[in-house]
Amino acid sequence: MIIIKTKEQIDAMNEAGKLLAECHRRIAGMIKPGVTTTEIDQFVEKFLAERGAHPEQKGYNGYPYATCASVNDVICHGFPSDVPLKDGDIVTIDMVVKLNGWLADSAWSYAVGNISEEAQHLLDVTKKALYLGIEQAVIGNRIGDISNAIQTFAESENLSVVRDFIGHGIGEDMHEEPQVPHYGPPHRGTRLKEGMVITIEPMLNLGSYGTKIDADGWTARTIDGKLSAQYEHTLAITKDGPLVLTEQNV
């Protein structure tokens, strides 16, 4: 069942989203060679605690940290670690913020120092794919229109779309209906209605879309060891079009 949110509930999610966006802006300022993702994770814990918010990922299905920190060939759900980031790495920081009982979810990929041309292309295309998906998130369209816009663009740029992890409805729970794949045919799936709140979170790979999970049970990597990137927003379907609740430049 898809839980439709009221205007007031969407406003509450937007407050969580604004806090999450501010957190990402602060992380952007911390990213440089030598910093560890443990330091970033601890910053997020402190930042949210000071504002009366909660890192929802911590303890979710036993996940041990406030953030997911996914470096280079890690697709998602990487553990923060004491290994310093190095020049040329890319890292995705993903987090879910709970504020006054309502959630927002956003992941962002960052370049560490100077990165290769192909890594920069991966970041640029993945971010653009997210926004092309968001453009399709209008009343009357279907989930498949979002999925197809992302897949079509990604593949036209010679990148592959991860199948094993997808977007989702969100509200008081992190994962609600509907499911939001980032691949598939247009004009199919759930029709979008006012008051739905979903995430769109494409993970694109330089190589093939296959995944494998580390012995820790969480860390998802590309099967061929090539780079992966991800950008994720939480957004509401409104009469005025998609309202991005986790936008960073507002």
Name the residue among 186, 116, 113 with its Cα closest to residue 147: 186
Kindly tell me which of 101 and 113 has the beta carbon lying closer to ligand MF3: 101
The answer to whether residue 61 forms part of the interface with ligand MF3 (CB under 6 A) is yes
Q: Which stretch binds ligand MF3 (CB under 6 A): 39-47, 60-68, 118-126, 186-194?
A: 60-68
Which one among 16, 23, 85, 96 touches ligand MF3, defined by CB under 6 A?
96
Phi, psi of 32 (to 5 degrees): -165, 160
Four-CA torsion 213, 219, 201, 27, nearest 10 degrees: -170
* Contact (CB, 8 A) for 104 and 20: yes
Cβ proximity to ligand MF3: between 96 and 154 the closer is 96
* Residue 172 · residue 105 · CB < 8 Å: no
Question: Scanning residues 96 to 115, which ones bind Co ion (CB under 5 A)?
Answer: 105
By the 8 A CB rule, do 103 and 5 touch? no
Map tokens 């999450």 to a residue: 20
Binder to ligand MF3 among 9, 14, 57, 136 (CB under 6 A)?
57
Q: Output 56 or 105, the one with its CB closest to Co ion.
A: 105
In 3-state terms, what secondary structure has residue 210? coil
Rg (CA), the chain: 17
Nearer to Co ion, 81 or 179 (CB): 179
Q: Which of 10, 13, 68, 235 binds ligand MF3 (CB under 6 A)?
A: 68
Instruction: By CB under 6 A, name the binding residues for ligand MF3.
Output: 57, 60-61, 63, 68, 77, 94, 96, 105, 199, 201, 232
